[in-house]
Amino acid sequence: MRHVGREGFVVGGAWWMVLAAASFGLMGVFVKLASATLGTVELVFWRTAFAVLVLGAAALLRRQRFATPLLGQHIKRGLLGYVSLLCYFYAISHLPLATAVTLNYTSPLFLALLSVLLLRERLPRSAWLAIVLGFAGVALLLKPTLAGLGVLSGVTGLLSGLLAGWSYLHVRELGQAGEPEWRTVFFFAFISTLGGLLLMLFQTWHPLTAANLPWVLGLGVSAMVAQLAMTRAYKVGRKMLVANLSYLTVAFSALFGALLWQHWLGWQELAATGLIILSGILASRR
C-alpha cells in the first residue's frame, strides 16, 4: 500500500472541499429550477427526506445505534436548522443565486456574535473586526435588493444565516459531547422531514412530474454529495484551509447564476461579497 504523507492528506482535504463547494452550488441551482413548480416547504422536504433514507439505510447496514441521550440537543439543532433551510431555499427561489448564498454564508458572523451573547465567550479583536466588516458587506449587498422591493427575500436570506449560525452552536456542543457526526446529520434531516410533513398538512402538495423530478433528484444527490464531501474534507484536511475553501460555494453560485440566469454581479455586489467572505474567514480564525 502506498504511503500517503501529511501533505497528501492536506491536498486531499482541499479537493474534497472544492467538490463540496461545487455540489452546494449545484444544489442551489436545482432549488431554483424546482421552485418554478414546487413550494419552499416541499423543496426542503424532498431534500431532507432523501438524506433520511440514505443515512438511515447506511446506519442500519452498519448496525449503528439511533438511540441517544442527547435527544433534546438534537431537537433544538434540528428545529433551528430546519427553519434556516426554509429561509435559505426561499431566498434562493426569489433572489439571484449568489446573493442568497452569500447571505446564508453570514453564519460564521452570527456564530461569533451568539457565542458572546449566549455563551459569554470573549472574542479577540480580529473577530470583532470580522463582525463589523461582515455586516458592512451585508448592508452593501442588501442595498440594491431592498431598493428593488425585495425586502422579504433579503431579510429572509439574512435570517437563514442567523439561524444557521445558531444551529452550529448546538452542533459544536453535540460534537464536544461525543455525538457521532452521522447521527447529528441524521436527526437534523429526520426532524426537518417531520416538520415538512406537518407543514404540508396546511398546504397543497404539488405532484412530482417528468418536468420537475430531475430537479428534485438533482437536489437530493447534490446535497448528499456536498454533505459527505464536506465531512471528508474536515476529517482529512487542515481545518482553517478547508473552512476558507468553503467560500468557493459563493464563487460557484455566482458562476452558475451568471451562466444560467444572466445574474451578473456588479461592482457593489462583488465588493459586498468580498467583505462578507473576508469577515467569515477572520471570524473562523478565533
The answer to whether the beta carbons of residues 283 and 125 sit under 8 Å apart is: no
Band (pLDDT 50/70/90 cuts) for residue 123 is confident
Lowest mean pLDDT among 5-9, 123-127, 258-262: 5-9
User: Can you give the residue ranges of every domain in the chain?
Assistant: 6-284
Residue 44 binned pLDDT confidence (cut-offs 50, 70, 90): very high
pLDDT value of position 264: 87
Indicate if the pLDDT at residue 37 is higher than 70.
yes
Mean pLDDT of all residues in 164-175: 89
pLDDT of 3 over the 50 cut: no
What's residue 2's pLDDT? Answer: 43
- Per-residue confidence (pLDDT) for residue 19, from 0 to 100: 94
Q: What is the pLDDT of residue 193?
A: 95
pTM for the full predicted model: 0.90
pLDDT value at residue 146: 61
Rounded average pLDDT over 237-263: 87
Q: Which residue would you say has higher pLDDT here, 207 or 241?
A: 207
CA atoms within 13 A on the CB side of 28: 31
Q: Are 95 and 157 in contact (CB under 8 A)?
A: yes
Quick check: 240 pLDDT over 80?
no
How many CA atoms are closer than 13 Å to the CA of 51, on its beta-carbon side?
Answer: 26
Q: Which of 46-60, 111-125, 166-180 ranks highest by mean pLDDT?
A: 46-60
* pLDDT at residue 218 tops 90: yes
What pLDDT does residue 61 have?
A: 95
**Residue pair 275/136 in contact by the 8 Å Cβ criterion:** yes
CA gap 242, 10 in Å, rounded? 9
Grid cell listed for 127: 473577530
3-state secondary structure of 271: helix
In angstroms, rounded to a whole number, what is the distance separating the alpha carbons of residues 236 and 126? 27
112: cell is 461569533
pLDDT given at position 278:
87
H-state helical runs in the chain: 6-34, 40-61, 71-94, 97-104, 107-119, 125-147, 151-176, 181-199, 213-236, 239-245, 248-261, 267-284
User: 31-62 burial string, b = 16+ CB within 10 Å, else e?
Assistant: bbbbbeebbbbbbbbbbbbbbbebbeeebeee
Mean pLDDT of the chain: 88
pLDDT at 144 over 80: no
Residue pair 140/275 in contact (Cβ under 8 Å)? The answer is: yes
Specify the higher pLDDT residue, 159 or 178: 159
